[in-house]
Amino acid sequence: MNPISLNLIAITVFLFTMSALLGPLINLSPTVPAVAVAGLLGLVTIDTLGWQGRGLEILLDAIAGTSEERRLRVTRHEAGHFLVAHLLEVPISGYTLSAWEAFRQGQKGRGGVQFDDRQLLEQLQQGQISDRLLNRYATIWMAGIAAETLAYGSAEGGDDDLLQLRGVLTQLRPAISDISARERWAILQAKTLIESNSQAYDRLVEAMKNRLPVAECQKAISEE
């Protein structure tokens, strides 16, 4: 069960407990919270078993993404990934900016930039990865956090990006002793690339806000 479902269950149990304690004080029938809890748990179960939790992701993403500021922040984050992948010559196949868009395109999660990682996976299967390739993908994964930090002073997104990088680093043999240092290095490299191409980044943000195709977004980066 994914963390979103677990959190919702925890909240449901908490609310049921509070209603049981406070219900007599406000003349609330115990049937009401019992039915509500049963309904919520039923929906969570159906979503987890049938949709692998994607229904809750779409719902929560829709609620969180209702403001223009939130949508812009997500776009800036994903534009960081897109720009750095483009600059490091990693092929990009598509992008989505919400869980609903990802669902419609058959992608998992809440959206993001899809790029070619076949070479990375091939080397990981062999238990080794070249420093050059590792540095390239680490910089791409940390580029969303870097873009948010440059624009807002801190990053709200990027948990999945950190997990992806840490998952790769922990598979390496010999293991990397200081994972945090590698994360900071990758964020710094991404920041440098974004700052050095700030005008291209701004054009890319506008292109992605308008949901232009990948080729048009890449053209926006290359414009003088």
Beta bridge partners of 149: none
pLDDT at position 176 is: 76
CA 159, CA 133: separation in Å to the nearest integer?
A: 22
Per-residue pLDDT of 8-38, as tens digits, reads: 445 555 555 655 555 565 555 656 555 665 6
Q: What is the mean pLDDT of the chain?
A: 79
**For position 29, what pLDDT does the model report?**
60
Whether 62 shows a pLDDT value over 60: the answer reads no
Is 68-222 in CATH node 1.10.3720.10?
no
Global pTM value? 0.72
Q: What is the pLDDT of residues 82-101, one digit of tens each?
A: 999 999 999 999 999 887 77
Instruction: Give the C-alpha separation, 68 to 97, whole Å.
Output: 13
Sketch the domain layout of the chain as residue ranges: 3-52, 68-222
